[in-house]
Amino acid sequence: MTTLTSGNPLAGSPTPSPEGREHTAPAPPAARRPGGAWLGLVPFAAYLGAFLVLPTVLALMTGLFDGDGALTGDNIAALVDPVVLATFGNSTWVSLLTAAIGAATGALVCFAMLGLPETGFVRTTVDAASGVLAQFGGVMLAFVLVATIGTQGVVTRLLDDVFGLDIFAGGAWIYALPGLIPAYVVFQVPLMVITFMPALAALKPQWVEAHLTLGGTRASFWPTIGFPVLAPSFLASFLLLFANAFSSYATAAALASQGSQIVPLQIRTALTSETVLGRENLAGALALGMILVVGVVMAVYALIQGRAARWQS
């Protein structure tokens, strides 16, 4: 007869097997020792430190000092100046408008591609073009807009000669704040395609079948299941587009060369203007204001994206 031995099985004490033979439970695995895999994060950590952490610290520190290096609160107080508030307001409404246009148009493009094969010519072409156009900006984008819808652009002259329509009858808006709207939409739409298409493609066909089995229709699937499930991903993509437009500088600097109607251009003016003597560190306060706005937006984006990832996995 087999004798039962008391003790903790995890410690290796013998316990009876169904056949009556004694066996020893495996010992707990040893604690993992830290290896060298973390060294792979060093380049990324250095990148974050050089281009995210360091600029944030510099913006905070320079905003608290004047041109002579003395501690002051004037720069931070300038954030509530009516001119600065108007600049933040311009950046906000332009970013919201272009994000809304880009999100709506991009979502329609994604929906149109949903029924196409992933490896087909149309879908792969749209994916490749979206990846390129999402990074298209600066002087190149400004040149394209001026050449097409500028005061003497191809499309401008065509509309005037054929239809007698002068799109600049009220002034050369292309070189002012309204001109940033079509410029930003050019890269907002492809960015929406890149970020929203994976969420739309993650919709499972079994959900449609279950909905039909329970008496629903294909038309009722979207308002009852599709849209509510996609809402977090859509909102997260919208916030990403807003942050992208709010922090854009190169396109605005190349297109709207006169005036400082948005925050990035106001920062440029604070750094380069010869008429703002003694307030050079105002640029740090403006940059700090931008960091706070974008930081809040991206924090909300991360929360929503985490919620959307629950059903996408």
pLDDT attached to residue 5: 43
Which 8-state DSSP code applies to residue 65? Answer: B
- What CA–CA distance (Å, rounded) separates 245 from 59? 20
Q: What are phi and psi of 312, to 5 degrees?
A: -80, -25
Structure confidence at residue 301 (pLDDT): 85
From the CB of residue 3, how many other CB atoms can be counted at a distance below 10 Å? Answer: 7
SS3 71: strand
Residue 2 pLDDT: 45
pTM tops 0.75, yes or no: yes
Q: What is the pLDDT of residue 212?
A: 86
Residue-level pLDDT at 15: 46
CB 106 within 8 A of CB 190: yes
DSSP code per residue over 180-233: HHHHHHHHHHHHHHHHHHHHHHT--HHHHHHHHHTT--HHHHIIIIIHHHHHHH
| DSSP secondary structure code for residue 50 in this structure | I
- pLDDT at position 276, please? 57
pLDDT of amino acid 144: 92
Residue-level pLDDT, tens digit, the chain, 313 residues:
444 444 443 344 444 445 545 555 555 555 555 556 778 888 888 988 888 888 878 777 777 776 666 676 777 777 888 888 999 999 999 999 999 999 999 999 999 998 888 888 999 999 999 999 998 888 899 999 999 998 889 999 999 999 989 898 888 889 888 999 999 999 999 999 999 998 888 888 888 888 888 888 888 888 888 888 888 889 989 999 999 999 899 899 888 867 778 999 988 888 777 665 555 677 878 888 888 888 898 888 888 877 766 665 5
Phi, psi of 152 (to 5 degrees): -120, 25
pLDDT attached to residue 32: 57
- Residue length, the chain? 313
* Residue type at 297 in one-letter notation: V
Residue 86 contacts residue 78 (beta carbons within 8 Å): no
Which phi and psi (to 5°) does residue 134 adopt? -65, -25
* Cβ-contact 65, 72 below 8 angstroms: yes
Torsion of CA 251, 257, 260, 265, to 10 degrees: 40
| Per-residue pLDDT, 313 | 58
Q: Which long-range contacts (CB under 8 A, 24 or more apart) does 76-82 make?
A: 76/285, 76/288, 78/279, 78/282, 78/285, 79/285, 79/286, 79/289
- For residues 65 and 283, give the distance between their C-alpha atoms in angstroms, rounded to a whole number: 11
What's the pLDDT score for residue 67? 62
Q: Identify which of 276, 251, 250, 255 has the alpha carbon closest to the alpha carbon of residue 84.
A: 276
pLDDT at 188: 95
Strands (E) across the chain are located at: 14-16, 22-24
| 188 Cβ contact list (under 8 Å, min separation 6) | 98, 99, 101, 102, 103, 106, 241, 244, 245
